[in-house]
Amino acid sequence: MRRALSLLALMGVLAVVLGAAVPVRASELVMFERKGCAYCLQFDQDVAPIYQKTEEGRRAPLRRVDLSGGVPADVALARPVRFTPTFVLVDEGREVGRITGYASDEAFWGLLGALTQQSALKRP
């Protein structure tokens, strides 16, 4: 254990000295979608063009995943995703909340706001 911690510390020092970035698993909003999903297309029209420009988009960038390809190995879900779109708020690789479906941009922003407050994603 002590040796592993020393190795991690050494890697951090080397990254700083060499100017390399040490990868950090940030928060993200994972959108599970399927080809031909009408609600996904509506989200694309209503929200996707502006999402990255918002405070929520800066705190939890949008990552799109085709559900037919399965769940990415670096995402730990609390339960399976069955419907599209499903938006899973992930922090450090683990699900902290989700929004199933898409009805409107107003509903999406309201649900996402509640979700981010609930999960306490207050990163700068």
* Nearest Cα to Cα of residue 60 among 26, 94, 23, 35: 26
User: What per-residue confidence (pLDDT) applies to 116?
Assistant: 85
* Nearest Cα to Cα of residue 33 among 68, 60, 57: 68
Distance CA 64, CA 93 (A): 15
Rounded to two decimals, what is the model's pTM? 0.76
Tell me the Cα Rg of the chain. 17
Q: Can the peptide bond before residue 72 be classed as cis, meaning omega within 30 degrees of 0?
A: no
pLDDT tens by residue, the chain, 124 residues: 444 333 333 333 333 333 333 333 459 999 999 999 999 999 999 999 999 999 999 989 999 999 999 999 999 999 999 999 999 999 999 999 999 999 999 999 999 999 888 775 444 4
User: What per-residue confidence (pLDDT) applies to 118?
Assistant: 76
